[in-house]
Amino acid sequence: MKKKAFTLIELLVVIAIIAILMGILIPALSRVRKQARAVACLANLKQWGLIFKMYTDENDGKFYAAWSTNGQGHVWIGAMKHLYRDEDINFCTTARKIVGAVTANAANAGDAKHAYGVFPETDTRVGYAGLAGSYGINDWVGRSSASQYWSRPDVRGANSIPLFMDAKWLGGFPYHTDLPPTSADGTGGTRHMQRYCIDRHEGRINAVFVDFTVRPVHLKELWRLKWHRDFDTSYYRHIEWPDWMAGMPE
């Protein structure tokens, strides 16, 4: 009886088939992982939607005070602190790692794949000490005497007013004239829209809206959301998109 064995050609054929299968499966598995992270991020933001709703229910249907210039900073951080314990919900699953080294007096900004932080333990603002995360507020939401702000969730078009979302910083004040970033990491633009315009979920970010609904938002769509009462949602037609955003849906 002759022993059966693979010939060299047969072995090469098997190796080639395995390589082809790996070439098909690895991108598919990568897409599945990215989709799973995006779904986990949406789950985090649904929890944040409940937290903001609980706050307004406790406070006569009103949001926290708006951005404070008296040294308190982003008021939402301290205002919401008593409503949750699991600090993991501060982090999008795509952006858990802190970017760079911690400095003595401030925290580092994040980017598409990294969180901001960590704020030093000596920071005296309410809730800031040791803080890190990868979500940020729309600072135009909050109690204020200024006419541009959204102070309550029961307003017309609440499902188009962003509240809380993927971001590379704690919050910001976007204007419709803000230019998009020249980088997918949210750098090279003007003013604060670039804090949210980051390629975190394949051309999208996830967001909670003022009516506490949660959904993905295409990056170009950010200019069509009603960030504040005077935000011109038609201005996006005048924007020249950078190359990395050119083929994205509007």
pLDDT of residue 17: 78
Instruction: Report the pLDDT value the prediction gives residue 221, as an integer from 0 to 100.
Output: 97
CA-wise closest residue to 229 among 174, 166, 167, 169 = 174
Distance CA 183, CA 195 (A): 11
Mean pLDDT by 10 residues, the chain (250 residues): 62 76 67 78 97 96 86 89 92 89 70 93 90 96 92 96 97 96 94 96 96 97 98 95 92
> For position 29, what pLDDT does the model report?
57
Give residue-wise pLDDT tens across range 191-239.
Answer: 999 999 999 999 999 999 999 999 999 999 999 999 999 999 999 999 9
- Please give the backbone phi and psi of residue 238, each rounded to the nearest 5 degrees, phi first: -95, 0
Burial readout 45-63 (b: 16 or more C-beta within 10 A, e: otherwise): bbebbebbeebbeeeeeeb
Tell me the domain boundaries of the chain: 9-245
3-state SS assignment for residue 214: strand
Q: What is the pLDDT of residue 10?
A: 67
Three-class secondary structure of residue 41 per DSSP: helix
The C-alpha torsion from 81 through 87 and 90 to 94, rounded to 10°, is 180
pTM value is 0.85
Could you tell me the strand order of the sheet in which 204-209 lies? 171-172, 135-138, 162-166, 204-209, 214-218
CB 185 within 8 A of CB 214: no
